[in-house]
């Protein structure tokens, strides 16, 4: 089997031709969509091989047998078996393997690939619209049909030798995340729509899963879903990973489709994933059981605008607070939404700009009530430049409903990072340092501080981290005697050099009146004479 690193490289190289035609936010849909389609095709053909008991046959051999069997008496039995296992069936002339053969023969047509996509989407409601962001007829692929054909064929041929059925969900999931990270790197600010860097996701999942490692049937929710990586990281910290139920809502339809593909590539059964496309703030979801979750993880768009109409004051997500977050900054609206859907025994982790910690007005009133209720458990200030979408430092806020006190644990992790290219990144050492401190809730000089409620109240419910964690570094005292000694030595050296220059200047001969005048002027500057 091909190494994972080689697989990463091969799949990423497939984007080279598309990269010259469109930006990363566009070509990622083509590349990831085709990878996903090949995954479905390879998995289905692999199952056909098992049904036909053909042992170690490769995909080409299984494809030939599949074509033959579908013309025989057992075709309906094979279709039933495949549909029961996958909820879809790809016809023999619409498999990825068949299309590669057509590409080599020069008979491949994009219309047939589009038909294959449509057949999968129609097979089950969970596949509806999965491929709708792959515009096979876009002029960005080429002005003429043969150009489009050639460009997509070239991408598909890059994958031809890789049998995705040979890889576990963990490996393919890692590959998918690798691709997302590369797309995010090239997408810049648009990356915020779909990607939270893996180390940050890992830290958040680790925190949210503390004490829940052995919980069977755990539920996790991300109302600003993105690619789904925040949700999927939870399974890395669960001993019951195969029984986790995932819930998420995403506004952007293209990103919503990415998350669905990501779930399937990670081998999450369809019955264990409940994903919805919609506006989280205006369209509260879910409203049917379950509505509260063991863990809530969020990386919402920072300081986005939202409706904030007075009707939301009657919404149970916001009614307790008597005010609404400002229309121009939805940060607290997202926080309150996630918190509303948190179980009494659950943990929530949300990334937000530092402004939520100290801004006045409605945000201050909400913050005060949450602090009085003991809802805010910890505030962690992360390093700048961790995200592809913004260079600003952000805060990671931890919330709980079952706290027995109203203290808040502050961590200044602004210096916890390693350089990686032009970005910063949390190393595993950084992650463990933050997590260990959070678990201990001990005061650590210039890094962490446990603030009692009375102290927070005295600070006017301002949660700005420097108010609690003093990171000031005193400069070494200046030795004035040593400085004077250095100045004296410098002056003596300067006098020596000046004397040497004057001696050399006196040996110069000026042949013209103009030259004599210039030489005299220079000597005057040096404090000498000819």
405 and 260, same domain (yes or no): yes
Residue 175 lies in a domain: no
| Percentage of the residues of the chain whose pLDDT score is greater than 90 | 69
pLDDT in tens, 213-270: 999 999 999 999 998 999 999 999 999 999 999 999 999 998 899 999 999 999 999 9
Residue 201 lies in a domain: yes
Query: Which among 138, 167, 196 is the end of a domain?
Result: 167
Q: What is the CATH number of the domain that holds 340?
A: 3.40.50.150
Q: Tell me what pLDDT residue 9 has.
A: 76
Q: Tell me the CA distances in angstroms from 204 to 182, 184, 222, 382, one per residue in order.
A: 21, 19, 12, 12
Query: Model-level pTM?
Result: 0.85
317 and 359, same domain (yes or no): yes
214 and 85, same domain (yes or no): no
Q: Tell me the CA distances in angstroms from 115 to 110, 123, 140, 151, 445, one per residue in order.
A: 9, 12, 20, 18, 63
pLDDT in tens, 83-140: 999 999 999 999 999 999 999 999 999 999 999 999 999 999 999 999 999 999 999 9
Written in H, E and C, the secondary structure of 501-528 is HHHHHHCCCCCCHHHHHHHHHHHHHHCC
Residue 46, sorted as left (phi over 0), alpha (psi -120 to 50) or beta, turns out to be alpha
Q: Tell me the CA distances in angstroms from 310 to 278, 318, 322, 356, one per residue in order.
A: 21, 11, 11, 21
> Residue 260's domain spans which residues?
182-467
Quote the number of domains for the chain: 3
pLDDT at 509 over 80: no
Q: What is the CATH number of the domain that holds 63?
A: 1.20.1260.30
109 and 230, same domain (yes or no): no
């Amino acid at each position: 089997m091909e190494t994972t690193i080689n697989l990463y490289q091969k799949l990423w190289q497939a984007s080279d031709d598309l990269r010259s035609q469109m930006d990363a936010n566009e070509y990622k849909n083509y590349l990831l969509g085709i990878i996903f389609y090949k995954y479905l095709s390879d998995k289905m053909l692999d199952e056909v091989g098992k049904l036909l008991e053909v042992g170690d046959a490769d995909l080409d051999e299984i494809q030939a047998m599949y074509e033959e069997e579908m013309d025989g008496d057992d075709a309906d039995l094979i279709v039933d078996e495949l549909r029961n296992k996958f909820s879809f069936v790809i016809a023999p002339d619409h498999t990825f393997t068949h299309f590669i053969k057509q590409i080599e023969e020069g008979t491949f047509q994009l219309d047939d690939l589009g038909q294959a996509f449509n057949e999968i989407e129609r097979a089950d409601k969970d596949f509806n619209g999965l491929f709708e962001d792959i515009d096979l007829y876009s002029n960005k692929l080429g002005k003429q049909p043969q150009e489009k054909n050639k460009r997509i064929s070239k991408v598909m041929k890059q994958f031809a030798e890789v049998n995705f059925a040979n890889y576990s969900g963990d490996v393919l999931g890692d590959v998918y995340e690798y691709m997302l990270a590369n797309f995010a790197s090239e997408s810049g600010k648009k990356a915020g729509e779909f990607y939270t860097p893996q180390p940050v996701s890992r830290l958040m999942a680790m925190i949210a899963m503390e004490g829940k490692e052995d919980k069977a049937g755990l539920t996790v929710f991300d109302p600003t879903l993105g690619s789904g990586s925040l949700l999927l990281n939870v399974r890395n910290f669960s001993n019951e990973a195969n029984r986790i139920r995932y819930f998420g809502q995403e506004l952007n339809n293209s990103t919503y489709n990415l998350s669905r593909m990501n779930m399937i590539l990670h081998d999450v059964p369809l019955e264990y994933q409940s994903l919805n496309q919609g506006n989280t703030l205006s369209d509260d979801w879910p409203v049917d059981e379950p509505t509260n979750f063991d863990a809530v993880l969020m990386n919402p768009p920072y300081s986005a605008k939202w409706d904030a109409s007075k009707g939301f004051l009657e919404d149970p997500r916001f009614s307790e607070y008597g005010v609404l977050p400002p229309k121009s900054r939805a940060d607290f609206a997202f926080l309150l939404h996630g918190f509303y859907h948190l179980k009494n025994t659950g943990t929530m982790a949300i990334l937000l700009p530092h402004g939520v910690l100290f801004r006045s007005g409605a945000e201050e009133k909400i913050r005060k009530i949450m602090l009085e209720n003991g809802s805010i458990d910890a505030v962690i200030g992360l390093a700048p430049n961790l995200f592809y979408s913004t260079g600003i430092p952000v805060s990671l806020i931890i919330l709980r409903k079952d706290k027995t006190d109203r203290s808040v644990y502050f961590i200044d992790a602004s210096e916890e990072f390693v350089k990686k290219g032009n970005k910063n990144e949390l190393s595993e050492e950084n992650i463990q340092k933050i997590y260990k401190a959070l678990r201990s809730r001990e005061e650590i000089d210039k890094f962490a501080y446990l603030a009692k409620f009375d102290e927070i109240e005295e600070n006017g419910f301002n949660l700005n981290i420097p108010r609690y964690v003093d990171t000031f570094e005193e400069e070494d005292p200046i030795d004035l005697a040593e400085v004077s000694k250095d100045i004296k030595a410098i002056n003596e050296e300067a006098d020596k050099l000046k004397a040497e220059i004057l001696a050399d200047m006196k040996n110069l001969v000026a042949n013209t009146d103009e030259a004599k005048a210039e030489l005299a002027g220079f000597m005057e500057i040096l404090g000498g004479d000819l």
